[in-house]
A and B are shown apart, each in its own frame.
Chain A
């Protein structure tokens, strides 16, 4: 994974590309959703799971910008307007969900049940912070929306995103980790 030029200032090239491709993936599946069934007109989206996995592999900065760019462009391209409070919430989510990325070892092939537990505890906390805290508060501050409504929306978003990331995010992490060879297969000689 390490490259010869990694001492360069600023963001690593890999992070820059991961942000770009990760955001493109999120926008590409922006309108892909599956019916929940028991709640009318509710559909599950997979944005949160993709942002989480990008952040868990490439770190919180990659997650932050993936969330920011994908939500802004997705909103603008598909809905012709950008709901900034939720864009910021998604960026916060992307950042927080990647905070434990060094412990997860996904690209080194070390993602096992312990790492899955860390990943999921972290993602539920990040989801709670973003959707129950940041998004509703910004909705009230920026758009002056009624607080009951925005907190109800926030709790729903928290539950849905948490569940999708728990299932899809964890599956993706296991699957990708399986095809990566461990760093430890080679030892550096003294």
Chain B
């Protein structure tokens, strides 16, 4: 079965922060790294997220597997960008410095390299924080954090249910798919594509039926306990917002505003070193 990133507490300062702070950190980081193409800002964010990763004392080995996967996707994406649009950087930065002429009219320009470097940097900025968020936030606390940030508690509760049932469903999937394979249901290259998809449905049907049963059971139980009667609810695992949380949240908000200002100060979201 696929390796899954999951929470474990090692008592570091990052783990001790409230879930709300970490969620906000993750959201701000991913929003800013999404919007900006300012290389200086991205570099700063990337380096500081490495520092936070260090503080969290998370073992690099636990993320190495996922990191490899991300690097493969990233390289495919970068190559695809080059193949589909080798002059994208030239259009953006308004200059054309040819470094090498390649095959069939493709040539490598400094502008394109810099553009793709920025694309890669955007990934690297968010990866450490996203990984940390998953690895250091207690799933039970996650729903209450969403609620604290203003999401309706009903949807927050859906997220809580999702996190609670992912491992169960994965186990069910393994059981069902092995049982069906034992009965000769083949999903490999040995049968035709249409047959493969159809056979996959044979694995998904029992899984889907048991999910529908679960929906009935859980919603009946919640109905009986009067879920949703009131406008608010309390949470079993709600992290306390301490002073350091407030400090971090305040600085995050400042950072978000400042970074938008820096990004758009010269009227473009791209930082242009070629001018």
Count A/B pairs, Cβ under 8 Å. Answer: 202
B182 within 8 A of A: no
Contact mask B201-226 → A, CB, 8 Å, 1/0?
10011011101101100110011000
The 29 listed contacts between A and B (C-beta, < 8 Å) are A8-B229, A11-B228, A13-B219, A16-B158, A16-B161, A17-B218, A19-B162, A20-B157, A20-B164, A21-B211, A28-B173, A29-B204, A32-B177, A34-B200, A36-B193, A38-B193, A69-B162, A77-B5, A77-B134, A78-B5, A82-B126, A142-B34, A143-B119, A144-B270, A149-B81, A149-B83, A167-B194, A167-B201, A175-B208
For B222, give its contact among A17, A19, A32, A175 (CB under 8 Å).
Answer: A17
Complex: A79 Cα to B3 Cα, angstroms: 11
Does A73 contact B162, Cβ atoms closer than 8 Å? Answer: yes
Does A179 contact B209, Cβ atoms closer than 8 Å? Answer: yes
| Among B13-21, B62-70, B98-106, B232-240, the stretch in contact with A | B62-70
For B122, give its contact among A23, A143, A152 (CB under 8 Å).
Answer: A143
Does B84 contact A148, Cβ atoms closer than 8 Å? Answer: yes
Contact mask A5-32 → B, CB, 8 Å, 1/0?
1001011011011111111110111111
Q: Describe B's contact surface by its main secondary structure.
A: helix
> Count the A residues whose beta carbon is within 8 Å of the partner chain — how many?
63
Identify the closest chain A residue to B89 (Cβ). A146
Q: Report which A residues bind B (CB closer than 8 A).
A: 3, 5, 8, 10-11, 13-14, 16-25, 27-32, 34-38, 44, 46, 49-50, 53, 65, 69-70, 73, 76-82, 84, 142-149, 152, 163-164, 167-168, 171-172, 175-176, 179
For A20, give its contact among B70, B165, B205, B269 (CB under 8 Å).
Answer: B165
Does A25 contact B211, Cβ atoms closer than 8 Å? Answer: yes
Chain A residues with Cβ under 8 A from B70's Cβ? 79-81
Does A24 contact B161, Cβ atoms closer than 8 Å? Answer: yes
For A21, give its contact among B67, B161, B270 (CB under 8 Å).
Answer: B161
Does B215 contact A17, Cβ atoms closer than 8 Å? Answer: yes
Q: A73-B163, A79-B73, A149-B84 are in contact. Are A144 and B37 (CB under 8 A)?
A: yes
